[in-house]
Amino acid sequence: MPDPLALPSSRFAVWPRRAARAILALWLALLVAAAFTPIRAGEDEAPRAAAPAAPGQVRTRDADLQLYDDVIARLKAGEGYYAVIAEEHRRHRFPLHPGFAVRLPTLAVIEAAVPAAALAPLAVLLTLAVLLAWWRKLGGDAQASPVRAMAMAALLIGATIGTTRYFFVLHELWAGQFLALALGLHRPERGRWLGAWLAAALALAIREHALPFVLLMAAFALWQRRWREGAAWLALVALFLAAMAVHLHLVARMVVPADQPSASWITLRGLSGWLSMVVLSGNLRLLPHWLAGPLVVASLLGWSGWKGAAGLFGTLLQAGYGLAFAIAGRGDNYYWGMVVAPTLLIGLAFLPAALRDLRRSAGMGRNAIALALGPVQRT
């Protein structure tokens, strides 16, 4: 780990004392709370099917994944998506309305057309593309280049979930990888945003949960007066809304009175919802929960310390999705966290500098007592 004293200043270097102390107090409170907050998928502490199968046993398939397996198998046989999805939802006892309970056809159609043996190489190539994009992005940022090695190690932990064969039919897995690629490719200071736009468009075509990322990109572009880029992001939003309207219309045509509606996604699980979504959907699930939860909180503080537009964007992105997960998402929706989990741990690379500057701004450095007491009077 690099020496914190040698790192560039963080966003907190010039913060007022009271503000710095408030952030430190809030962060410490969240850190302690995260260590004791239950991390669960449904009523369990972790998804049952996520555990390795015993030797000689067949691994149990999650109900959602089995549904997508069956849909893809029927598409390979030449059937149409919307007729198939309605039948399979009923057979697996999944709701058909509201229409948001039914996934967009993009991923199922692609995986039905691509040989199953090609999915693993494609996943590895996508992960390597994410790593390469971030290596270049971090190296071109004066604030990030001193901690590039540590940031890449953290990214490797987060992004390699994308190579897990078991989850290849999950829409959130691929959407999250494409969003990680989009964020790595986004370097507007050099006029490079088209690659990020294309990667985000793929993510949005796979899972509508990528929409907040696109909206935030549009907001940043317009705020920084990059009008052409802002217009491109807004155009992507418009295209998505049109496609989603068609999707919802086609799903609505399949619904019959006997179809039961989905249970509410508004669950108000608070801190447990955020931590459960992020921890259980990535490699942090392999750690004890008392450690994984605080690492999520620490990562967010590190993101907030990264001075510059990239750090601010990442902070708002992770905090925004965290707030959304605290409000919405049932326990069995734990995999939603895959949309943002790949890049979360990058924040740990910026944590030492953030803590150093918060401590100094709060007057808690080596000379804190002397500063508090004022100049010593000689007699």
Digitized pLDDT (tens) for each residue of the chain, 379 residues in all: 566 666 788 999 999 999 999 999 999 999 999 999 999 886 444 443 333 444 444 447 888 899 999 999 999 999 999 999 999 999 999 999 999 999 999 999 999 999 999 999 999 999 999 999 999 999 999 999 999 999 999 999 999 999 999 999 999 999 999 999 999 999 998 999 999 999 999 999 999 999 999 999 999 999 999 999 999 999 999 999 999 999 999 999 999 999 999 999 999 999 999 999 999 999 999 999 999 999 999 999 999 999 999 999 999 999 999 999 999 999 889 999 999 999 999 999 999 999 999 999 999 865 443 333 334 343 3
SS3 104: coil
Q: Which of these, 252, 269, 270, lies nearest to 261 by C-alpha position?
A: 252
* Contact assessment for residue 287 and residue 346, using Cβ atoms and an 8 Å cutoff: no
If we measure between CA atoms, which residue out of 110, 61, 68 comes closest to residue 88? 68
Structure tokens at 317: 């992105």
- Output the pTM of the full model: 0.91
Query: Cα dist. 1→104, 151, 172 in Å?
Result: 43, 11, 32
Helix (H, G, I), strand (E, B) or coil at 85: helix
pLDDT for the residue numbered 57:
43
Query: For residue 296, how far is the Cα from the chain centroid?
Result: 11
* Per-residue model confidence (pLDDT) at position 377: 40
Give Rg (Cα) of the chain: 23
Beta bridge partners of 328: 266
One-letter amino acid for residue 294 of the chain: P
Amino acid of residue 260: Q
CB atoms within 10 A of CB 164: 16
123 closest CA partner among 168, 166, 157: 168
Which pair of tokens denotes residue 227?
């009008």
Check: CB of residue 119 under 8 Å from CB of residue 111. Answer: yes
Whole-number Cα distances in Å, 260 to 11, 63, 90, 95, 184: 50, 17, 9, 6, 41
**Alpha helix positions (H), 99-147:** 106-113, 116-139
**Rounded distance between C-alpha atoms, residue 319 and residue 238, angstroms:** 25
* Bridge partners for 192 per DSSP: 187
CB neighbour burial string for 346-369, b if at least 16 within 10 angstroms, e if fewer: bbbbbbbbbbbbbbbbbebeeeee
C-alpha 338/C-alpha 170 separation (Å) is: 9
Question: For position 42, what pLDDT does the model report?
Answer: 65
Exposed (0-12), middle (13-18) or buried (19+): which is 170, by Cβ within 10 Å?
buried
3-class DSSP state of 43: coil
Here the tokens at position 127 are 């992960």
Q: Are 109 and 75 in contact (CB under 8 A)?
A: yes
The Cα–Cα gap between 329 and 103 comes to 15
Q: Are 285 and 46 in contact (CB under 8 A)?
A: yes
